[in-house]
Amino acid sequence: MPKLSQCHNIADLRKRAKRKLPAPMFHYIDGGADDEWSMRRNTEAFDDYELMPNYLRNVDNIDLKTRVLGTELELPFFLSPTGMSRLFHHDKELGACRAADNFGTLYSLSTMATTSLEDVAAATAGPKMFQIYILKDRELTREFVQRCKTSGYQALCLTVDTPLAGNRERDLYNGMTMPPKITPRNFFSYGTSFEWLYNLTRDSDFRLANVVHRVDALDKGAMALIDYVNSQFDRTVTWEDAAWLAEQWDGPFVIKGIQSPADAQRAVEIGATALMVSNHGGRQLESAPAPVDCIAPIRDVIGNQLELIVDGGIRRGTHVIKALAQGADACSIGRPYLYGLASGGQQGVERALTLLKTEIERSLALMGVNSVTDLGPEHFKYLPQRY
C-alpha cells in the first residue's frame, strides 16, 4: 500500500482508501447510481475541454484567493457535504473541517453527518456551510436553521436532488448498513481491514449526530436511525418550500443539485444567492448531465445574479481551472477528500488538498495566468462532441 507521501494524485489516494477500508465502506464512497454512467461522465466531460496557454507573463506569484459565499477562501475549491464520515475514519467530520480550515477553505457539513453541527462549529473558526434537506419533519428543518444561526454558520445549502435515494447497487451487493453490521457472511470484507476494526474500539459512535435527538424524542424504539432519516425524505417538496426556507435564513443561501437553466432561474426568483451545479456525484439520477457541461447554459440565463459553484468529477487541478474558465466562481469536491480521510484521517484530507492546490498552481503558471480571477473564455476551447 502506498504511504500518504507516496500518493501523488487523487487516484493514488483512492487506491490507498480501497486497501484501508472494508469493502462496504469503500464502495459506499466510490459508487454511483445504476450503471454509474453519470458518475464516470462527470470526470470524463472535462476531457472535452482544452486549456490554452500564453507564455512570457511573469508567473512568479500565483494567487488562488477566491471570494464566494460572502467569504474569502485561500483556494478556489472547498469541501462538499458528505454524510457518515465516521464510517471512513475515526477523525470523521472533525478531521475534514480542521483540514479545510488549515488550508483556508470552507467545510460543508451534511445533515447526515456523524458529528453535530455544534461540535464542528466548536472545532474550527474557519468558514462553514450547513447542508439541509426539507424533511417531512418541518420542525426539525426549522430547528436546523436556528442551530446554524446560533453556531455561526456562514451559509446554508439546500440539496434538492434527493426527493428519494438513488439506486446504488454497489451498496446492495456489499451489504452496506448504517451503522455497520459485521456478520459471518460479510466478515471477510471487514476481517482484512485490521486498522479500521481496531479503530472501532476507540470510537464506535456512528450516530447521525444532527438528528439522533429527534428519533429519541419520537420514541421510535428499535427503529434504526437510518430508517427514520429515509422515511423523512419528502417527495412533495416544491419551490414554495424552498422559498419558505430561504426566508428564514439571512446569509448566503445555496441550492445544490441544479443542472437546468430553468431551475437556475427559479432559484434566482426565490432569493438564493448561489447554486451548486451538481448531480450529487452521479449518485442520484443516472444519465444526469456532467456539471461542467451545465455551467455555460446556466450562466447564459442567470448572468451574474447568482454565484455558481461546480461540484462533481473533479480529480485534477486542471478540472478546477476548466470550470473556472467557463464561468464558475468556485468548485467543490466530495470523493477526493473522502479518499484522503479514509487513507489517513485529517492528514489524508490535507494530502488531497495539497495535491489539488499544487496542481492548480502549477497548471496556472504553465498557462501564464497569475490569478484564478483572471481565467476566462480565452483560456479554454470546447472540443467537438466525440459521440
Is 237 a binding residue for ligand FNR by CB under 6 A? The answer is no
Least Å distance between CB 313 and ligand FNR?
5
From candidates 76, 127, 252, 334, binder to ligand FNR by CB under 6 A: 334
Residue 116 within binding range of ligand FNR, rule CB under 6 A: no
Q: Does 82 interact with ligand FNR (rule: CB under 6 A)? A: yes
Cα–Cα distance for residue pair 18/347, rounded to 1 Å: 17
- Residue 81, marked binder: yes
d(CA 219, CA 207): 16
Judged by CB under 6 A, the chain residues 300 through 329 that form the site for ligand FNR are 311-314
Closest contact distance (angstroms) between CB of 107 and ligand FNR is 12
Annotation-wise, does 257 bind a ligand? no
Give the residue carrying C-alpha cell 455551467. 295
Q: Is 280 a catalytic residue?
A: yes
Q: Cα–Cα distance between 215 and 211 in angstroms, integer?
A: 7
Q: Beta strand pairing status for 253-258 and 155-159?
A: parallel
Residue indicated by cell numbers 454511483: 32
DSSP E strand stretches across the chain: 49-51, 66-68, 71-73, 77-79, 107-109, 128-132, 155-159, 253-258, 274-278, 307-311, 330-333, 380-382
Confirm whether residue 271 is marked as ligand binding: no
- The answer on whether 363 is annotated among ligand-binding residues is no
Of 295, 338, 331, the closest CA to residue 316 belongs to 331
Q: Could you say which of 27, 89, 90, 280 is catalytic? A: 280
Using CA atoms, how far residue 94 sits from 66, 107, 112, 349, in Å, is 24, 10, 14, 11
For ligand FNR, the nearest residue by Cβ is 334
Question: Is 384 part of any known ligand binding site?
Answer: no
Q: Determine, following the binding rule CB under 6 A, whether residue 335 of this chain makes contact with ligand FNR.
A: yes
Based on CB atoms, which residue is closest to ligand FNR, 110 or 116? 110
| Residue 159 is a binding residue for ligand FNR (CB under 6 A) | yes
Shortest Å distance, C-beta 29 to ligand FNR = 5
Shortest CB 184 distance to ligand FNR, Å: 27
Size of the site for ligand FNR (CB under 6 A): 24
Which of 112, 328 has the CB closer to ligand FNR? 112
| Residues in 94-113 that interact with ligand FNR by CB under 6 A | 110, 112
Q: Which is nearer to ligand FNR, 103 or 369 (CB)?
A: 103
CA distance 271 to 7: 42
Site residues (CB under 6 A) for ligand FNR, limited to 22-61: 28-29, 42
Relative to beta strand 71-73, strand 155-159 is unpaired
Query: Looking at the chain, how many residues does it have?
Result: 387
Cα–Cα distances (Å) from 128 to 208, 246, 332, 372, in that order, read 19, 18, 13, 22
Residue 323 C-beta: closest distance to ligand FNR, Å: 12
Query: Which among 323, 327, 279 is positioned nearest to 303, based on CA atoms?
Result: 327
Smaller CB distance to ligand FNR: residue 81 or 252? Answer: 81
φ and ψ of 349, to 5 deg: -65, -40
Which residue of 24, 252, 281, 289 would you call a contact of ligand FNR, by CB under 6 A?
281
The residues with which 107 forms a beta bridge, in sequence order, are 79, 128
- Which residue's CB is nearer to ligand FNR, number 46 or number 190? 46
Cβ neighbors of 251 (< 8 A, separation 6 or more) are 70, 153, 154, 155, 156
Name, in order, each residue with C-beta under 8 angstroms of 303's C-beta and a sequence gap of 6 or more. none
**Distance of alpha carbon 333 from alpha carbon 347, whole angstroms:** 17
Counting contacts by CB under 6 A, is residue 256 touching ligand FNR? yes
Using CB under 6 A as the binding rule, whether residue 92 contacts ligand FNR is answered as no
- Any binding-site annotation on 86? no
Known binding site for FMN: residues? 81-83, 110, 131, 159, 256, 278, 311-315, 334-335
Known binding site: residues? 28, 81-83, 110, 131, 133, 159, 168, 256, 278, 280, 283, 311-315, 334-335
Which of the residues are catalytic?
280
Write out the residues near ligand FNR by the rule CB under 6 A. 28-29, 42, 80-83, 110, 112, 131, 159, 256, 278, 280-281, 283, 311-314, 333-335, 338
